[in-house]
Copies of this chain bind each other. A is one copy, B any other.
Amino acid sequence: MAAKEKVFVVKVGGNVIDNPALLDTFLADFAKVPGRKVLIHGGGKIATRIGDKLGIESKYLNGRRITDAETVDVVTMVYGGLVNKQIVAKLQAAGANAIGLTGADANIIPAVKRPVKDVDYGFVGDIPAGTVQTAPLQLLLDAGLTPVLSPLTHDGKGQILNTNADTIASSVAVALASHYDVRLVFCFEKKGVLRDANDDDSVINLINQDVYRELLAAGALSDGILPKLENAFAAIGNGVKEVLIGHADDLRRNTSDAVAGTLIC
């Protein structure tokens, strides 16, 4: 059997999006990653800033945005328009043939509006297992294009939905793993998963299920890192070859053999 082609699925977080200098460096590095690659970007605080100016209050519960009808319009504008297209224009300038998309485009990510239980999260989309459409992604990747996905999906009935970018990254990586050797790289503003949240150099180089359980028991994991690790283990458990969590500045190393950051296995 022929070896599968390699694909890097790279997620860049909101804190990087909010820092123009860090973002520019990151995008220049991302453009240089060889071969097939997909970028998934978070939203950052700009949606909150623009929502505030428009008189639309941002509401959060357990760290998740409550997305009412006005808010879904704001995130559609900001994530799907401003952030996504600025990234695309910059990647084009840096030599990557980027194409900016939401999960509604080409029906790449059909999602379901989160059911209302104790909390109504509003227009938030969950991605059922096995629903990400790989055909359009393969069409683009095999033509030398670089999909840039914003954290938006749709319900197939005409409604855009707000969806966590880590979840999109993990779901896309799993879907592509049927066709490619996938390395999923989460890029944020820390060097990796830290043993001590106050010590930026306490990076844990390798996390497996045993280490994960120890860290959970010790309460060593911050709220921000937990969903990344959950998504990382979900990816590894579903065919993704490698998952890395590291600093945006370390992207070049984390897309080579000399990895920095935290390797999940």
With A88-B105, A107-B92 already in contact, the answer to whether A76 and B80 are too (CB < 8 A) is no
Quick one: which of B89, B90, B102 contacts A85, CB cutoff 8 A? B102
Task: Name the residue on B nearest A152 (C-beta).
Answer: B85
A139–B97 CA distance with the chains assembled, in angstroms: 14
Contact pick for A136, options B81, B99, B101, B157, CB 8 Å: B99
Q: Which residues of B contact A107 (CB under 8 A)?
A: 92, 97
Say which residue of B55, B99, B157 sits within 8 Å of A101 (CB atoms).
B99
Chain B residues within an 8 Å CB radius of A143: 136, 139
Q: Are B93 and A85 in contact (CB under 8 A)?
A: no
Number of identical protomers: 2
Interface size of A by CB at 8 A reads 41
Smallest CB separation, A73 vs chain B (Å): 6
Cα separation A154 to B139 with both chains bound (whole Å): 24
Q: How far is the CB of A142 from chain B (nearest CB, A)?
A: 10
The answer to the question of A112 belonging to the interface, with a C-beta cut-off of 8 Å to chain B, is no
- In the complex the two chains form, what is the Cα distance from A99 to B109 in whole Å? 12
A27 to B54, CA, bound (A): 28
Q: A79-120: which have CB < 8 Å to B? A: 79-82, 84-86, 88-90, 92-93, 97-102, 104-107
A100 to B76, CA, bound (A): 13
A78 vs B76: C-alpha distance in the bound complex, in angstroms? 9
Q: Can you sample 15 A-B contacts with CB below 8 Å?
A: A53-B54, A54-B54, A85-B102, A85-B105, A88-B105, A89-B104, A89-B159, A90-B158, A92-B107, A92-B158, A93-B157, A99-B105, A99-B106, A100-B101, A136-B143
